[in-house]
Each structure stands twice: as structure tokens, then as C-alpha cells.
Amino acid sequence: MILATLLLSFQLLGRAEAFVQRSWDESYALANAKIAQMTVDEKVGILTGVGQFNSRCVGDTHPVDRLGIPSICFQDGPAGLRLVKGVTGFPSGINTASTFSRRLMRARGVALGEESRGKGVNVFLGPAMDIMRNPKAGRGWESFGPDPFLTGEGSYETIIGVQSTGVQACAKHFVANNQEHWRYGVTSNLDERTMWEVYGWPFLRSIDADVTSVMCAYNRVNGTSSCGNSDLLGPKGFLRENGFKGFVVSDWGATHDAAKDVANAGLEMEQPGDWIVIGGGDFNNLITGLKPAVKSGAVTTDRLNEMVGRVLAAFYHLGQDSGFPAVNFDAQHSDGSGSKNLHVSVRSDAHTALVREIASASAVLLKNNRTTFLPAAGAKETIRGLPITKSRIRTMAIIGQDAKMPNLSCNDLNECNDGTMSVGWGSGSNSLEFVVPPVDALMSENAGAATLATSLSNDLNAGANAARDKDVAFVFANAMSGELGFYSVVVGNMGDRNDLDLWFKGGSLIERVAAVCNNTIVVIHSVGPVVMPWSSHPNITAIVYAGAPGEMTGPSLVDVLYGRYNPRGRLPFSIADKEADFGTSIVYNSLSGFPEINYTEKLLLDYRYMDANGITPRFEFGFGLSYTTFAYSGPLSIASGASGTRAITFTVTNSGEVPGTEIAQLYLAFPAGAGEPQRVLRGFEEVPLGVGESRSVTIALGQRDMSIWDVVRHAWVVPPGTFTVTVGASINDVRLTGTF
């Protein structure tokens, strides 16, 4: 009997599709019925990848054709499908976080799921949920930033969206996987409370979202390999104790121990299946593999069956046994060649429009000195700053390598930075086959309206000459990062960034342009924080932090610059003046092999560290300007609900002259003695408002939101005492305060 059946439908490739989501009990019953008919070889095959170069996807399992069990296809990545043609280049995770919009987070998840399903992908390898412990972390842009609450909400909504299409999501990389240097064996040493309240928090939210799979990481946690760590994966480990029903798959080649050890520790599946790694991680072929371990009794039949059951139950849970499309691409021929590539496009106008909206919604307006300027008596006035008034602009310069079209054939991992940066490099990248760069969008917008000069390099003299005495000069600069390992070193950066500077002397280019143009508008594409010592220059009238926005980078930016889209993006991290202001560092060098990194900062990341140490950032967490203004009014109502929950209610009014969206943020200060940071993010809402319109906003605080992890009881506990609630437009822009 199906205990909980949910009929879900969605639009894919112009036709209606539907699937039946079964309860976990029903799914396990179906899985166990198949297991009863399987041989040991067939069971091992389901738990083992077919090999890095034998896969049609980035990872495949062995099918059991006689029982109707297909190969299960795993495919990168968190910003859109990789190594595949005919797909969309979505905005990165960090840009999605910048929207502070659950609506857009979920919509992006739905679109990622639709494209995955259309290509025949069973398991979407995302979302990435690694906390940005250090702003230079190479893969921080794949995830949602340094704040565990924001990362948790981004993860939750993405998983709900992806799995609503019948595609399995895979929460990764579990856990404390926070730098690329030494990633294959670095040890992350952290205490129990830090694990639960920071690095594990997003994974708790993924379980809340009913995620079907989790990927364990390359690194070690407190000395033990993540993929062989029973404290994380075992029956009484973090995942299972919190109700995780699905399966754990290794990162590709992350099984550092013998098959019997990782299997007994809680790992279900090894990918890609042919890697000979430390200790012998291949489940199938090595003497230390899974089959010999089962034959010898080192892994019991019950445990083997449990492993297979968890993989198959996830498959049945999302109805992938009926009507799921077959794989129609070949990741081994990412250029689209080969007989296995069927050239099915899953691009759509709806997905393109969504990419453009998220990119616009994630653009953070950091500075805007909008003024009316009279160059000389009788001359036509110029309006400086944003939005651009097209009729007032006679001459314009577009400057910087980041404005131009990148080399789309660089390679399938986007391991170059020779044009506008829409996404980082590595397995978290997407198939970069279509990009509209800023220069094209700006030139199209201003065709016939202004005299244009361009300098699409970072040559300092050429940039200054192009900008001299122009009505407006747009300067584009970027900073990039990505995955280490078997990927290229990009401009001397081995995954993690070397510093927080803009690449290719971007800061110097901005300063040179600002010296000759009194209406310099700076656009930054970056994977994370960059230092901005030039931000206060009087000739820099506006700064837009555009992040890594995906394929519609140009049109989405023009929408913001020309006022068709009122900026509402907020920083998902702080921008400070030096790396030391963040309180952590990347370990680049080690004289004794894989280093140990001690997470001595504990709960104090980013704004939490700055609060604790009296550091005022240049631009704080949650900051972002608008073309309108918003007023908050009380009283700040705090109502009690079931199980001690709270509902915080207040009013927001658009007090400006144009429609816009406010991002209302709630920060919680715990009672004295609770051992918490001074303030932590615990809620946010997007509030769209017309001119003069007011809206009542309610933000709920759940039990976990008000709890700390008690290391004595090993449980969430609400500490006694007075909590303080602040509501406002950023962590430092407090509008209303209340207590309970």
C-alpha cells in the first residue's frame, strides 16, 4: 500500500510529464523485492561506478537488465549541466544567494531538474553546500556563502525544486570541505558544536528537504576520511540520526580506505569505479574490493543489502522506474560528437528568462552617487550615476577584458579567464556554449544613441585614453577561482585564489579610468569578496557587484544599469579591506604532506568574526542599495506559536519614487552566556512594493533557529534568557528591535 503518493507534473520540452513520488516505505519495499532476486555481482554493480572513461555520464552504475534496473546516471553540476550540449548556463550558487529569494532559489532548482531530466540524468550532483570559510576558497562560488542559515535555505529550496521534477538531488560535499589546496587528504579539525551549528547546518536542511543522496568529501574530518567516517555516515552518525533515508556516494576517487572499511562506516556507493587510491578504494576489482569483503564476511550480507536498498529506494522514491527519459548525451564527447550524442536541446525561453531575472536580482548595487552635472554654461546637463538616462549620454566608453565575449572553446571546464566571467572553473562549472557579454548588450542598447569607445583589454593606458572626458565610462574587472586537482592552474591560481585582488591589474585599471572620467561606473564579476580600496574615489559614481551570473550576464546587467530592473541584490558575504578581517586563511604549503587545519574560529565566520573583533567592513553582509527607499515601521510584534516558535511581524513601506523590492533581514542575538556570536541571520523575506505601498511582513523563528548545540546532551537546546531580534536592510542597517 502506498502510504504517501504525490503526483507531480512539470513542463519539459513543450510536453506535460508526470511522475509518482512514493513514500520511503513503499520505495524500500520495491527495492527489497528486487534485492531478493539479485546475485552478489549484481548488487556490487549497483554500488560501483562503471569507470571514469566507460561512463556515458560523469558517473554510471552497472545495470541489472534482467530485473529492469537501468544504469543510474550522475552528472555535474550545481550551476547547470557540464560536458553536455544544448543546456543552459545558470547563475552560480553565490549569485542565487545574493537574491535572498526563496522563490528564485526554488525556481532555479526546478529549471536545473527539468534540464537534467530532459537529458536523462537520474542524479543531479548538487547543490553544493560547502560553507565559504575563507573568501579565497576556490569553490565557494558553487555554494551560498559563509552564513550557515542562508546556505541552508539556498540548499533546501534548490533540493525541493530539483526533486519536484523527479530528478534526485545530491547534497555535497559532506563535510567541512573548505579549500582546494591539499583537498585529497587535508584534515579539518573542528569541535562538535561547530560541526552542527555551521558546517552541518545546511545538510540538516537538506534532510528537511528529503534529499535522496549525499556526497561525502575528499577531506578528512578530525583525522578520519569523510567517506569512511562512521560518526558522519554510520547508523548513529550525523546523517542517519537526523532522519536521512537515501544513500551516500563518494566524491570521485574519495574512498581513501578499503571497501570493507568504508562500507561498514556508512558509505553506499563508490564512484567512478576504477580509481586505485590510498588503501584501495575500488569496490569491485581490487583484492580489497567490496565483493571479496562480502565473500570473507568482512561486510555482511545484511549490510550489502542495506546499501543496495538505499540506492534503489531513492530511485523508486522519485518514480524513476517509469517514464524516465533515457540518457541522450555522452560526457566523453562533450563537443557533441559521437553516436551516443543525440543532440537533444533542453534550453527554453522560460529558462533563459529565469537566468536573466536571477542575474539581475543578484546584482548588488554597492555605491550610487546620482547627481545632475552641468559641464559648462549652456551645455546639456548630464546625470551621473545610475540608472543611466540614455538621452543624457552622448559619449560612452566600455573598458576592460571582462566586458568582452570569452573563448567558449577554452575547454569543457572553463579553465580560462579571457572575457566576461559568468562562472568559475572545474566540475561545478557548466557547459559554456552561449553567453551574451556586457559589451554586446551595451552596444545594442546604445546603438545610434551615443558615440562609443571601447578598450577590451586591461591595458592601463588604452583604458584611460578611451575613457577620457566621456559622459560615462563603464569599467569591467573580475576575479575567478575553481576546482583544484586534475584541472589546470589558471593564471597562477591553483583552485583557491592567491589573494583578494582583482585579476589582470583590474584595480589599477579602475583607478586610471576614474582619474580621467568623472562618471566612472564599475562592474565587478567575481567568485567572492575582492578588496576595493578605490571605492571611495569621487569620480566613481556607481559600483555594481555582479558576481558569477551565468550566460545572460550582459542583458541582465543592462536591465539594472538602465533602470528596467531596480537592483535588489544583497551581499551574501562581507567585503573587507584585507584577508585578516575574515579571521581564517588558506593553507597553501605544508612540509609534512597533508596538513591539518584547526577551525579555531569556531562559530565566528565573516560578519560574526568582524562583530566579535570590532572590524567594520567596507560593505557589510546583507548590504545592497536600490533606486528607491524603504521605511520600516512597528510595532515589532513577537507572537508565540506551537512548540515555542515565534512569529516576528513588522511593516515595510516603499517611501521612494519608483517600484522596488526590499530584502528584509532578521538577525537574532542569543541570551548572554549562550556562547553564540553577537548576531546571526535567522530570517529574510523579499518584499516587492509599488510606490507608496506598505506591506506587513512576518518572519518565523523555528525551534532550531533559537537553539544551540549542547555538547553535553548532544542535542539542540533553547538556552534560557532574553533573545534580541533586530530587523533591517543589512546586518548593520537596523530598523527595528525587540526582545522575547
Give the residue with greater pLDDT, 5 vs 680.
680
- The mean per-residue pLDDT over the stretch 363-391 comes to 84
Compute CA distances 296 → 229, 277, 288, 291, whole Å. Answer: 22, 22, 11, 9
CATH match for 363-597 among 3.20.20.60, 3.40.50.1700, 3.40.190.10, 3.40.50.720: 3.40.50.1700
Percent of the chain with pLDDT over 70: 94
Residue 370's contacts (CB-CB under 8 Å, 6 or more residues apart) are: 383, 384, 385, 386, 541, 542
pLDDT in the model for residue 449: 83
Residue 600 has pLDDT above 70, yes or no: yes
Cβ atoms of 252 and 272 closer than 8 Å: yes
pLDDT in the model for residue 288: 58
Angle between helices 148-163 and 201-208 (to 10 degrees): 30
Residue 487 has pLDDT above 80, yes or no: no
Lowest mean pLDDT among 16-30, 274-288, 354-368: 274-288
List b or e across 25-36, with b for residues whose CB sees 16 or more CB atoms inside 10 angstroms. Answer: ebbbbbbeebbe
pTM of the model: 0.96
Domain boundaries 26-76+213-317, corresponding CATH code? 3.20.20.300
Q: What is the pLDDT of residues 243-289, one digit of tens each?
A: 999 999 999 989 988 889 999 999 999 999 875 443 344 555 544 58
What amino acid positions are annotated as catalytic residues?
251
Mean pLDDT over each residue of the chain, to the nearest integer: 93
- Segments in 468-531 forming alpha helices (H): 506-514
Compute CA distances 156 → 128, 148, 203, 263, 635, whole Å. Answer: 11, 12, 9, 28, 31
pLDDT in the model for residue 447: 84
Residue 721 has pLDDT above 80, yes or no: yes
The architecture in CATH of the region 628-739 reads Sandwich (2.60)
Strands (DSSP E) found in 374-519:
382-384, 395-399, 451-455, 472-479
Residue 109 has pLDDT above 60, yes or no: yes
Cβ atoms within 10 Å, residue 457: 15
Cβ atoms of 74 and 125 closer than 8 Å: yes
Distance (Å, rounded) from C-alpha 521 to C-alpha 514?
A: 9
Residue 224's contacts (CB-CB under 8 Å, 6 or more residues apart) are: 231
Phi, psi at residue 64, to the nearest 5°?
-120, 85
Pick the closest to residue 196 from 721, 720, 707 (CA basis). Answer: 707
Distance (Å, rounded) from C-alpha 647 to C-alpha 369?
A: 37
The sheet carrying 724-728 orders its strands as: 680-689, 660-669, 724-728, 734-739
- The residue type at 270: E
Lowest mean pLDDT among 144-153, 154-163, 334-343, 657-666: 334-343
Using pLDDT thresholds of 50, 70 and 90, give the confidence band for residue 383: confident
pLDDT in the model for residue 433: 87
pLDDT in the model for residue 83: 93
Residue 637's contacts (CB-CB under 8 Å, 6 or more residues apart) are: 647, 648, 649, 650
For the chain, the structural domain boundaries read: 26-76+213-317, 363-597, 628-739
Cβ atoms of 87 and 81 closer than 8 Å: yes
The sign of the torsion formed by the CA atoms of 611, 616, 619, 623 equals positive
Residue 557's contacts (CB-CB under 8 Å, 6 or more residues apart) are: 359, 360, 363, 438, 441, 523, 544, 546, 549
Phi, psi at residue 704, to the nearest 5°?
-65, -35
Distance (Å, rounded) from C-alpha 455 to C-alpha 416?
A: 20
Distance (Å, rounded) from C-alpha 49 to C-alpha 175?
A: 22
Residue 181's contacts (CB-CB under 8 Å, 6 or more residues apart) are: 484, 494, 495, 496, 586, 587, 588
SS3 671: coil
Residue 671 has pLDDT above 80, yes or no: yes
Residue 701 has pLDDT above 50, yes or no: yes
Q: What is the pLDDT of residues 612-623, one digit of tens each?
A: 999 999 999 999
Distance (Å, rounded) from C-alpha 234 to C-alpha 263?
A: 9
pLDDT in the model for residue 67: 98
The sign of the torsion formed by the CA atoms of 417, 423, 424, 429 equals negative
pLDDT in the model for residue 703: 96
Grid cell 552478489 in the structure block, residue? 40
pLDDT in the model for residue 408: 86
Using pLDDT thresholds of 50, 70 and 90, give the confidence band for residue 8: very low
Using pLDDT thresholds of 50, 70 and 90, give the confidence band for residue 53: confident
